[in-house]
Chains A and B, each alone.
Chain A
Amino acid sequence: MTGPSSSEALTKPASSGLGWLLDQRVLLSIAVLALLPWLLPSKALAVNVLIYGVVVMGYNLLFGYTGLLSFGQAAFFGAGAYFTGIAIGRYGMPWFAAVPVAVLLSTCLAAAIGVVSTRTRGIYFSMVTLALAQLVYYVALQAASFTGGENGLRGFTVDRISLFGLQVNFLDPVNKYYVLMAFAALAMWFQSRILNSPFGAVIEAIRENEQRARACGYDVERSKLVVFMLSGAISSLGGCMLALHLSIVPLDILHYQTSGMIVMMVLLGGASSFFGPFVGAASFLILEDVISLWTPHWQIIVGAIFVLFVLFLPKGIWGTLLDALGIGKARR
């Protein structure tokens, strides 16, 4: 870390062309998401794509860009949802206070889990994150007076969203979608800034070659902790969105199956691409939606498709598409 004085000396106004170009991925993504409710069979499905898209996008920062395979991302998704629900239901906070509080608390949880897990590497990292996330699950299960235990968290409902005197009926599915899309847009803008930042270069260097990054002078352990927290923060925002959307928080979202689903979604869509997580979330949820119509054993088919993807399209749907179109790294 260097003070602003020495680094400021290196800053010059952006070459407008490149900065503008890189901003486009956020605008383009928002444009696609804005059309989503009219492209998908139901508004509910579109909302789920938004929510899981944000969760998976946060996870992509950790897995796709830093190369850390965590099996515990559900902890932050769930934490965001529970903290939002508790803040609204128990402490009577308005939504615009509950969401930042929930994200902040979830980031603290990510710091705690990150401090322990980022000291390990490879499979040990995956296992430690899995175990600690399960710990969070059992805490939520046992602390029933706070969390509702097995029944999930109930007793909070957000039916209107008001800001700056503007009132929106949040029960209307279209309104709900576009309000939640504003959250997703915020998350995308934040993620894009991280990826374009000097720190974004550091995490990519760590993914490419941890030993070399250390020899270059980066504190790899601390950088991993920072990215773990950022990733948890973004995924927890998805949790906040889920709580606002459902008005309940099912205990299941903390379960390791949710973590597994997040990993599948990022691989389906394409790790280390900006919009891949939304493509992955959409494909997974559409597959689930369609296949579960004609068989209750939809997981067998989704699982088989997933295996085919890992074998033949390791860059996922979006990553493969970008490759085919010859779109370079900088614009992803």
Chain B
Amino acid sequence: MSGELLRAEGIGKRFGGFVALEGITVSFAAGQLTSIIGPNGAGKSTFFNILSGALTPTSGKLHFRGRELNGLPQHRFVHQGISRSYQITNIFPDLSVHENVRVAAQALIVSYDIWRNRARLVELNGRADAALDAVGLLARRNELAKFLSHGQQRALEIAIALVAEPELLLLDEPTAGMGPEETKDMVALLERLADKRTVLLVEHKMKMVLGLSKRVVVLHHGRLLADGAPDEIRSNPEVRRVYLGQSEGYG
């Protein structure tokens, strides 16, 4: 717990007349796992897209390590230390598993070199393999990514985000579409990741979120509804009304 890493100040986002987010002020400390939950349409994904630079907020400010991120193009976010995974599997299907991760690691070092042989960037190969090892995919490194199972593709996606050595790792529903076995593996992986770095998670599976997170932030209709430790969230009547009451997964 070494102080504040990311601070959102009055973040709002409009799409035409539709207000997706309004006045979200929240800050995230370094070194803990925080989950963002909320019913469908609560603005979780919009918020996540703003935090990762895919969307620009219509109002409010974003500070990361004291630096303002507003106006920075999306591809610069990784260079600042914010890396993300996607809700819908988002990998490079026709590249090998290893190349998926290697090319992600390369982004931080070199883009426009058309002259040297990329095979000579040997350190990247090592880093890619280390990231694959961390998610348990090292044995499949030479296969094409499209031939992995769904759960493995989700893990690969995390390896892609992880290889950038981000200070803040944003994970958008890493267990989406997974069966119970795969989910279990993923939870174990998330626990390992949360030991070492700051993780921000959007997730639907309530039981998992409450068991895993140090802190839970609840969004509803684009506003911040609650923010606290899992126990507080569990007993918060507002949250129970809008969200938990509907969820069979809450246990």
Chain B residues contacting A205 (CB-CB under 8 Å) are 92, 95, 103
Chain B residues contacting A214 (CB-CB under 8 Å) are 74-75
> Is the beta-carbon distance between A14 and B120 smaller than 8 angstroms?
yes
> Is the beta-carbon distance between A10 and B124 smaller than 8 angstroms?
yes
Residues of A within 8 A of B (CB): 1-2, 6-7, 9-15, 18-19, 22, 193-194, 196-202, 204-205, 208-209, 211-220, 222-223, 226, 230, 329
- In order of increasing CB-CB distance, the 6 nearest A-B pairs are A217-B78, A217-B107, A208-B92, A216-B104, A10-B123, A216-B107
Is B6 located at the chain interface by the 8 A CB criterion?
no
A-B contacts counted at CB < 8 A amount to 130
Chain A residues contacting B112 (CB-CB under 8 Å) are 1, 199, 202, 222-223, 226
Is B122 located at the chain interface by the 8 A CB criterion?
yes
Chain A residues contacting B93 (CB-CB under 8 Å) are 208-209
> Are A2 and B107 also in contact (CB < 8 A) when A193-B115, A204-B95 are?
no
Residues of B within 8 A of A (CB): 52, 54, 73-79, 83-84, 86, 90-96, 99, 102-104, 106-124, 160, 164
- 6 A-B interface contacts by CB (under 8 A): A6-B109, A209-B92, A214-B74, A217-B76, A219-B75, A223-B112
Chain B residues contacting A218 (CB-CB under 8 Å) are 75, 107, 111
Give the docked Cα–Cα distance between A323 and B15 (Å).
47
Report the nearest B residue to A14, measured CB to CB.
Answer: B120
**Separation in Å of the A107 CB from the closest CB of chain B?**
13
Give the docked Cα–Cα distance between A199 and B116 (Å).
9
Chain A residues contacting B121 (CB-CB under 8 Å) are 7, 10-11, 198
> Is the beta-carbon distance between A196 and B117 smaller than 8 angstroms?
yes
Give the docked Cα–Cα distance between A230 and B110 (Å).
18
Chain B residues contacting A209 (CB-CB under 8 Å) are 90-93
Name the prevailing secondary structure of the A interface residues.
helix
When the two chains form the complex, which single residue of A15, A194, A216, A222 contacts B103, counting CB atoms closer than 8 Å? Answer: A216
Report the nearest B residue to A208, measured CB to CB.
Answer: B92
Chain A residues contacting B76 (CB-CB under 8 Å) are 217
Chain A residues contacting B86 (CB-CB under 8 Å) are 212, 215
Give the docked Cα–Cα distance between A11 and B115 (Å).
13
**Separation in Å of the A5 CB from the closest CB of chain B?**
11
> Is the beta-carbon distance between B109 and A2 smaller than 8 angstroms?
yes
When the two chains form the complex, which single residue of B108, B109, B118 contacts A200, counting CB atoms closer than 8 Å? Answer: B118
Give the docked Cα–Cα distance between A9 and B118 (Å).
13
**Separation in Å of the A13 CB from the closest CB of chain B?**
8
> Is the beta-carbon distance between B79 and A217 smaller than 8 angstroms?
yes
> Is the beta-carbon distance between A202 and B103 smaller than 8 angstroms?
yes
> Is the beta-carbon distance between B91 and A217 smaller than 8 angstroms?
no
Give the docked Cα–Cα distance between A234 and B236 (Å).
65
Chain B residues contacting A1 (CB-CB under 8 Å) are 110-112
Chain A residues contacting B118 (CB-CB under 8 Å) are 196-198, 200-201
Chain B residues contacting A198 (CB-CB under 8 Å) are 106, 110-111, 113, 116, 118, 121
Chain A residues contacting B108 (CB-CB under 8 Å) are 217
6 extra interchain contacts, Cβ-Cβ under 8 A, other than A204-B95, A212-B90, A329-B96? A10-B123, A196-B117, A211-B90, A216-B107, A219-B75, A220-B75
Report the nearest A residue to B157, measured CB to CB.
Answer: A212
**Separation in Å of the B74 CB from the closest CB of chain A?**
5
Give the docked Cα–Cα distance between A200 and B116 (Å).
10
Chain B residues contacting A216 (CB-CB under 8 Å) are 75, 78, 103-104, 107, 160, 164
> Is the beta-carbon distance between B114 and A193 smaller than 8 angstroms?
yes
> Is the beta-carbon distance between B78 and A215 smaller than 8 angstroms?
yes
Chain B residues contacting A219 (CB-CB under 8 Å) are 73, 75, 111
Give the docked Cα–Cα distance between A18 and B118 (Å).
11
When the two chains form the complex, which single residue of B90, B102, B117 contacts A14, counting CB atoms closer than 8 Å? Answer: B117
Highest count of chain B CB atoms <10 Å: which of A197, A212, A220, A230: A212
